[in-house]
Structure 1
Amino acid sequence: MVHQKVRDYFHTDYKPGERTLIRKIDFFILTFCCLSYFINYLDRSNLNNAYLSGMKEDLGFVGNQLNVINTCFTVGYVLGQVPSNLSLYYVKPRIWFPLMMLCWGGLTMVTASVHKPQSIMAIRFFQGIFEASTFVGTHYILGAWYTERELGKRSGIFTSSGLAGSMIGGFIQTGIHSSLNGRGGLAGWRWLFIIDGLLTIPVALYGFFFFPDTPSNTTAFYLTDDEKSLAIARVPVVEEHSPITLRFLKKVLLSWYWWGFVMLWVIAGETESFSSNGLLGLYLKSHPTTKYTVSQLNNYPTGVPAVGIVSTLFWATLTDFLNGKRYLVGYFIGIVGISTSIMILVASHNPTSSHSTTVTMVALYISGSVYACQATFFAWCNDSMRYEEHAFRAVVLAGMNLGNNAINAWWSIIFYGASYAPWFIRGMWAMIACCIALVIWTALLAYTDRRDRKKRELDEITGRLSITIESKEKE
């Protein structure tokens, strides 16, 4: 039976021309989205890399100013979520995405000119607004083009591209620091922002000319008329209404989709706190006995997103294979978060031993595996809302990221401030609480989702029977 499932999974029966269509949209959608998210994460990770590579000393950082900068970014990111995704209802994605890229890329280059932490705070706030388009906007686009069976892997590949940016960012900073530090009178960390910003330009131009928008409004020259019709037929047809109405607002706020998936990501997003707040780099920089070099501070943390990439692709593929059982990842993450927190709490009791260092580093590397929840949970939302209005789905996807980042704006300061390094004791206990809450909420949401699907299937069967009875009565 398992052998048959594996064979069915890898040998899908496609309609005539469907395989060619999928190859085309895979290439043009995933190349642009993955490249943009890759550079997006280079931009996000370069702040921590620059901080570890001399920016802290050059600009006179004190206390938790690094966390305050991250909070400024998060506030802008939160404010931009829903407006950005709603903009895709009115502006074609091939225009909106590249425009936003050029804006945050330009601000990245401006960061190279700053002389005090407060300037970076202002820049990162506006960067957050523009970067809000990338993550949830892409998940909205993926849900518009791909079927439920195809979505998990594509979401996983997309999310992994961001982790690759975070991983490679450390190596890039190491290379820039060794080759460009002092060139033109600029410190290596300043060159990092200039180079990252320049990378956005060719990707934005590529998106403007080649991105296919959505099945309903695509004008892509590489798709035939038959392929455009097939793309529309592959996904459920839903009746669309303007999202700027009281009716739409009530529908969103009274739906279990909004509260269920937003709260899911509010909780699950905080289980990424070890990785997203760069705890491994801060641990190494504040190590109680060992002084690490700049190269080590940049290179050692790259293993965390590497673990995240493997975990993301594994769970995205597995949940596709298991017919969309995305909720399984919630249980996995709960176990990982509790286990790694306990490991670090135990290690903190003997901070100067080499065994303590080994345990802490292993725990922080393993914590990267929780990144699997990004792809699977957003794919879960896309799966569940497949029969809902596209604008409704876009708002819920944006709401997920909005809710999480609204919490993360202050959560990281309270529990993972740089001044709490190297052990972040209160953060460990916060992680344990989050993981317990995640397991409970995942179980409740999985039950609600299953009940809703069964009701929809029953309604479909009832509707078909009614049509059959009516047709026979006419005969």
Structure 2
Amino acid sequence: MIKDANSITQNEVEGEPTTPKRPVNRRFLLFKIDLFVLSFVCLQYWINYVDRVGFTNAYISGMKEDLNMVGNDLTLSNTVFTIGYIVGMIPNNLILLCIPPRIWLSFCTLAWGLLTLGMYRVTSFKQICAIRFFQALFESCTFSGTHFILGSWYKEEELPIRSAIFTGSGLVGSMFSGFMQTSIFTHLNGQNGLAGWRWLFIIDFCITLPIAIYGFIFFPGLPDQTSAANRLSMTKYIFTEQELHYARRRLPARDESTKLGWSTVPRILKRWHWWMFSLVWVLGGENLGFASNSTFALWLQNQKYTLSQRNNYPSGIFAVGIVSTLCSAVYISKFPKARHWHVSAFISLIMIIVAILIRTNPLEPKIFFSAQYLGGVAYAGQAVFFSWANIVCHADLQERAIVLASMNMFSGAVNAWWSILFYSADMVPKFEKGCYALLATAISSGVVSVVIRSLQIKENLAKKSVPYIDANDIFGEEEDDENQDEYEGENASVEFGDEEMTEVPNPFR
């Protein structure tokens, strides 16, 4: 028999005498989540992109000539990386359900850092492909894994901004990598007999190592799957048990009966979430083609721009990506009538313009520069689509992990051959096929977003909320801390308000 929720206290659940409890300070809790959860995943994604973009910067800064790379070697090495990324995507997200994310994400960061260090010793194209494949296996934990973790800590109205900050951190890493390569080439090229591009990989590792250590010590993982008991973790000193339980309870109720097993597959496949979100990010990911496949750097090299210009000019794309990502997050979070599909439609329109501009006159610098920088708007799709999937799939933990991983996995699977067909190095400088491909994905992604929105409305109208009591959620507080300094013993019980017990989703959100 379940005891009345209004009379259950934390101490009674633990079998101890009832004692007064101070309420959880909501604002301070959110601040700590941002400080220790968001900070690590952003640092991890930042160095991820420093490492990833650093490879292209190394290629155009002397690696191509030193290793006698020819033809489509750059494109092929990126394809090998993509294959490793695809292979590791879903397994990494499922591992996060079994191994504390603090341990697994920190280990993966260290692993790809060591592999990055190994790049400074390569002497052949085959060695590059081998290292890039295993780098991708470990790096694939980052993007979709982080969105899964963010969805476990943040409420719907908090998620777009945090997703945007996370996505922006990767773009900052992309910008930083170009400037760092330029500085390294200027000051370290030839030092100790090493070319400047080799020094880039050494310095990347030196930055990656402390981030992995920071995550292992300070990153708390998931609110209901923390490793606070581990003596090497600072979680127990950063968050109280009451705060961790409240962090879980403040989110919408989810089905606690679902487990990871063979029943997970049919459960997910019979819903539209997996199919439609995977499709929309395949299309949205290819909208990023002109940026993610280094077409600007290759074009600049083809047009005989200087080394510093080849490394620095593409940074403008990432700057546009940061601004557009943050603006889209503010729009979705702060405007009552804002919807995710609005941003998707805007991105589609911009990418159509980009395709038309490049197809019109790809040899005119003003047109090509304008088109490339406008193309940075497509980066906003990362935060928009993944936060959207987080919200729609929140009620099923295993489905959410698999859907987020599948979105990135299928996007990578398509990009593995898409980049060879439409954005290979031998298509510089016109990228004629790429323009038509971009036009098709831009239009299609907008249409699919509208379909997802209609399915979401239909699903929300059909939902029936049920009372929800879970052992993990019986701790916490219900009153505003700003207006209450002391917590009276007679009010120490947990109060389940009507809005938490029987919340009916707004069908128009």
TM-score (norm. length: structure 1): 0.90
Conserved? CA contact 1:258–1:399, under 8 Å: yes
State the alpha-carbon separation in 2 of the partners of residues 32 and 245 from structure 1: 30
Note the alpha carbon deviations across 1:338-367, whole angstroms, 9 max, x for none: 10111111113xx3xxxx211111110110
User: In the TM superposition, what is the alpha-carbon distance from 1:225 to its structure 2 partner?
Assistant: 2.7
**Is structure 2 residue 305 aligned with structure 1 residue 292?**
yes
Note the alpha carbon deviations across 1:77-102, whole angstroms, 9 max, x for none: 00101000000111001000000001
State the alpha-carbon separation in 1 of the partners of residues 256 and 94 from structure 2: 13
**Superposition pairs of residues 141-160 of structure 1, within 5 angstroms:** 141-160=149-168
State the alpha-carbon separation in 2 of the partners of residues 185 and 461 from structure 1: 68
Conserved? CA contact 2:164–2:326, under 8 Å: yes
- SS of the aligned residue for 1:90 comes to coil
Q: Counterpart in 2 of 1:82?
A: 90
State the alpha-carbon separation in 1 of the partners of residues 82 and 161 from structure 2: 28
Conserved? CA contact 1:340–1:367, under 8 Å: yes
Note the alpha carbon deviations across 1:414-450, whole angstroms, 9 max, x for none: 1000110111110000000111111111111111011
**Superposition pairs of residues 284-363 of structure 1, within 5 angstroms:** 284-287=300-303, 291-323=304-336, 325-348=339-362, 351=363, 356-363=364-371
Q: Counterpart in 1 of 2:427?
A: 420
Which residue, out of 378, 381, 400, partners 2:407? 400
Q: Counterpart in 2 of 1:224?
A: 240
Q: Counterpart in 1 of 2:477?
A: none
Q: Counterpart in 1 of 2:480?
A: none
Q: Counterpart in 2 of 1:391?
A: 398
Conserved? CA contact 1:304–1:364, under 8 Å: yes
User: In the TM superposition, what is the alpha-carbon distance from 1:240 to its structure 2 partner?
Assistant: 3.9
Conserved? CA contact 1:18–1:230, under 8 Å: no
State the alpha-carbon separation in 2 of the partners of residues 55 and 202 from structure 1: 27
- SS of the aligned residue for 1:216 comes to coil
Structure 2 vs 1, CA of residues 343 and 21 (structure 1 numbering), >3 Å: closer, same or farther? same
Q: Counterpart in 2 of 1:446?
A: 453
State the alpha-carbon separation in 1 of the partners of residues 282 and 73 from structure 2: 24
TM-score (norm. length: structure 2): 0.84
- SS of the aligned residue for 2:157 comes to helix
Which residue, out of 460, 465, 469, partners 2:465? 460
Q: Counterpart in 1 of 2:291?
A: 275
Greater CA drift, 291-300 or 239-248 = 239-248
Q: Counterpart in 1 of 2:487?
A: none
User: In the TM superposition, what is the alpha-carbon distance from 1:168 to its structure 2 partner?
Assistant: 1.0
State the alpha-carbon separation in 2 of the partners of residues 32 and 244 from structure 1: 27
User: In the TM superposition, what is the alpha-carbon distance from 1:245 to its structure 2 partner?
Assistant: 2.5
Computed over aligned residues only, the root mean square deviation of the Cα atoms, in angstroms, reads: 1.7
Conserved? CA contact 1:74–1:408, under 8 Å: yes
Conserved? CA contact 1:280–1:364, under 8 Å: yes
State the alpha-carbon separation in 2 of the partners of residues 242 and 233 from structure 1: 17
Conserved? CA contact 2:24–2:243, under 8 Å: no
Q: Which runs of 5+ in 1 are unaligned?
A: 1-14, 469-475
Note the alpha carbon deviations across 1:263-285, whole angstroms, 9 max, x for none: 11111000000110111111111
Note the alpha carbon deviations across 1:400-423, whole angstroms, 9 max, x for none: 000100000110011000110111
Q: Which runs of 5+ in 2 are unaligned?
A: 1-22, 229-234, 469-497, 503-509
- SS of the aligned residue for 1:149 comes to coil
Conserved? CA contact 1:101–1:204, under 8 Å: yes
Note the alpha carbon deviations across 1:361-404, whole angstroms, 9 max, x for none: 1110110111000011100001111222x121001100000010
Note the alpha carbon deviations across 1:127-178, whole angstroms, 9 max, x for none: 1110010111110000000000000000000000000000111000000000
Conserved? CA contact 2:260–2:398, under 8 Å: no
User: In the TM superposition, what is the alpha-carbon distance from 1:451 to its structure 2 partner?
Assistant: 1.2
Q: Counterpart in 2 of 1:137?
A: 145
Which residue, out of 123, 133, 141, partners 1:125? 133
**Superposition pairs of residues 154-233 of structure 1, within 5 angstroms:** 154-218=162-226, 219=228, 220=235, 221-233=237-249
**Superposition pairs of residues 58-137 of structure 1, within 5 angstroms:** 58-137=66-145
Amino acid at match of 2:60: L
State the alpha-carbon separation in 2 of the partners of residues 119 and 16 from structure 1: 53
User: In the TM superposition, what is the alpha-carbon distance from 1:244 to its structure 2 partner?
Assistant: 4.7
State the alpha-carbon separation in 2 of the partners of residues 426 and 66 from structure 1: 19
Conserved? CA contact 1:258–1:396, under 8 Å: yes
Q: Counterpart in 2 of 1:5?
A: none
User: In the TM superposition, what is the alpha-carbon distance from 1:322 to its structure 2 partner?
Assistant: 3.2
State the alpha-carbon separation in 2 of the partners of residues 245 and 100 from structure 1: 24
State the alpha-carbon separation in 2 of the partners of residues 420 and 78 from structure 1: 25
Structure 2 vs 1, CA of residues 461 and 124 (structure 1 numbering), >3 Å: closer, same or farther? closer
Counting matched residue pairs gives 440
**Superposition pairs of residues 15-26 of structure 1, within 5 angstroms:** 17-26=25-34
State the alpha-carbon separation in 1 of the partners of residues 125 and 257 from structure 2: 45
Q: Counterpart in 2 of 1:239?
A: 255
State the alpha-carbon separation in 2 of the partners of residues 344 and 243 from structure 1: 49
Conserved? CA contact 1:29–1:211, under 8 Å: yes
- SS of the aligned residue for 1:460 comes to coil
**Is structure 2 residue 265 aligned with structure 1 residue 249?**
yes
User: In the TM superposition, what is the alpha-carbon distance from 1:238 to its structure 2 partner?
Assistant: 2.5
Amino acid at match of 1:322: F
User: In the TM superposition, what is the alpha-carbon distance from 1:16 to its structure 2 partner?
Assistant: 5.4
User: In the TM superposition, what is the alpha-carbon distance from 1:310 to its structure 2 partner?
Assistant: 0.4
State the alpha-carbon separation in 2 of the partners of residues 16 and 243 from structure 1: 30
State the alpha-carbon separation in 1 of the partners of residues 259 and 268 from structure 2: 10
Structure 2 vs 1, CA of residues 222 and 244 (structure 1 numbering), >3 Å: closer, same or farther? closer
- SS of the aligned residue for 2:96 comes to helix
User: In the TM superposition, what is the alpha-carbon distance from 1:239 to its structure 2 partner?
Assistant: 3.4
Amino acid at match of 1:40: N
- SS of the aligned residue for 1:235 comes to coil
Structure 2 vs 1, CA of residues 193 and 462 (structure 1 numbering), >3 Å: closer, same or farther? closer
- SS of the aligned residue for 2:158 comes to helix
State the alpha-carbon separation in 2 of the partners of residues 245 and 27 from structure 1: 34
State the alpha-carbon separation in 2 of the partners of residues 49 and 243 from structure 1: 44
Amino acid at match of 1:342: I
State the alpha-carbon separation in 2 of the partners of residues 241 and 284 from structure 1: 55
**Is structure 2 residue 380 aligned with structure 1 residue 367?**
no
Amino acid at match of 2:128: I
Amino acid at match of 2:112: W
**Runs of 4+ with deviation above 2 angstroms:** 236-246, 460-464
